[in-house]
Amino acid sequence: MPTAIGQELVALLPRLRRFALVLCRSSSQADDLVQSACERALANADRWTPGTRFDAWVFRIMRNNWIDHLRRSRTEGMSHDITTRTEIVGDAGEEPILNRLLLAEVQQIIGGMPREQREVLLLVCVEELAYREAAEILGVPVGTVMSRLARARKRLVEMTAAA
């Protein structure tokens, strides 16, 4: 394993976990997905082309792993995450609680979006990838990325204004 790839992979871990959470909606599954993507990236390090976006390459690996997992789960049956409820602990003031409630509301709205819109929203708005890079990761045309992103943003604005 080249040292540079290992270092880049470690630096990419927080972003990988965010993307994994968007894909799976479960902390434990997200951790497993990140680990699996890292293992594949390290095992196939020779397939990465230096000079290209390393993060986009690993995001693509992760998304493909998730799709493979979904295909397997259709035949094996779905498992449920029993740790879906979290409690707010340790915040004494009103502002942190209101911020967490707002964040939970936004997460719920994003979680209610179609998978395609959630993926594009995360890759472009959170991970700050270019439309072209997001399109390559998702395997769709750039226009499709733009359309999905516009619909996701519009829905997010409408839903947060209604609440």
**pLDDT tens, residue by residue, 111-143:** 889 999 999 998 998 899 999 999 999 999 999
What's the start-to-end Cα distance of the chain, in Å?
Answer: 50
pLDDT of residue 43: 92
- Residue 127 amino acid letter: E
pLDDT of residue 50: 85
**Residue 88 — pLDDT band, cuts 50, 70, 90?**
very low
pLDDT of residue 31: 93
- Residue 137 amino acid letter: I
CATH 1.10.1740.10 holds for 1-80: yes
Nearest CA-CA partner of 18 in 53, 43, 51, 55:
55
pLDDT of residue 37: 94
Give me the residue spans of the domains in the chain. Answer: 1-80, 91-163
Q: What is the CATH number of domain 91-163?
A: 1.10.10.10
